[in-house]
Amino acid sequence: MPVQVKICGTTSPRDARLSHEAGADFLGVILHHPRSPRSVSLQTAREIGAATSLPIVAVTVNQTFEALLEIAEILRPHALQLHGDESPQLVEQLSARGLRVWKAISGDQNTLFSQAQAFRGAGADAILVDAREVSPQGVVYGGTGKRADWNAARSLVESGFRVVLAGGLAPENVERAIETVQPWGVDVVSGVEATKGVKLHQAVLEFVVRAKRLDRTQPL
């Protein structure tokens, strides 16, 4: 079964349509995160959603329960992707409201496993493995181009977790990443951009084609 492809950091209806035409499965929109050049308003996110029939994943960092409920009510996303230091308790609260949650985690193998266990137990639908970076301005939670730990991600897959692999993916390495990790999905941001927040159509197309021509061997 082909891997699911999420094109994240979508900032315009134009880029949404390009990703749809390329054969992507999900669009990621980053909300309420002023430090990111890819962050958009809820109004722009709605316009992106209206431009295509692709499911939207709303990506947020350290938002409150109330703010997340507002996003869910206005945007009606396929899932809320929590990409910061959110707790299992928050995931549990959202899941109890019938909301689908993808939780981003990072770290070494032991850290990833304990986090994945906690968040799946709280109701997370998918675990997104990414790589963080610390800058003078603070933690950069994603979109850095830094590669995640593929071996640790593979261990999660072998333990039965639904894994979305992110972190440093690009057309040049996505096939090798899928062969190594066997994830349920892959997530790309900077690897398919012309500039931050602007997608390069040829790169998006090449990424999707390369990802889709491999079959996942691990069962869901």
Residues 174-212: pLDDT tens digits? 999 999 999 999 999 999 999 988 999 999 999 999 999
In angstroms, the CA 104 to CA 112 distance is 10
User: Where does the pLDDT of residue 216 fall: very low under 50, low under 70, confident under 90, or very high at 90 and above?
Assistant: low
pLDDT for res 214: 73
Instruction: Name the least confident of 25-39, 46-60, 129-143, 146-160.
Output: 129-143
Query: Among residues 15, 130, 149, 187, which one is catalytic?
Result: 130
Output the six-digit token pair for 59. 């990506």
Cβ(46)–Cβ(25) below 8 Å: no
Q: What is the pLDDT of residues 48-65, one digit of tens each?
A: 999 999 999 999 999 999
The whole-number pLDDT of residue 146 equals: 72
Bridge partners (DSSP) listed for residue 193: 199
187 labelled catalytic: no
pLDDT of 2 over the 90 cut: no
Separation between Cα atoms, residue 181 and residue 183, nearest integer Å: 5
> Among residues 8, 15, 25, 125, which one is catalytic?
8
The domain ranges of the chain are 4-212
Q: What is the pLDDT of residue 34?
A: 82
Pair of tokens at residue 128 = 């997104």
pLDDT at 163 over 70: yes
Q: Is 8 a catalytic residue?
A: yes
Inform me whether the pLDDT recorded for 148 exceeds 90. Answer: no
Tokens 């992707």 locate to 81
For position 137, what pLDDT does the model report?
54
pLDDT at 217 (0 to 100): 53
CATH number among 3.40.228.10, 3.10.20.30, 3.40.50.300, 3.20.20.70, domain 4-212: 3.20.20.70
Residue with tokens 């790309």: 188
Torsion angle of the four alpha carbons 72, 18, 7, 50, in this order, in degrees rounded to the nearest 10: 0
Encode pLDDT of 76-133 as tens digits.
999 999 999 999 999 999 999 999 999 999 888 888 999 999 999 999 999 999 986 5
Mean predicted confidence (pLDDT) in 136-163:
79
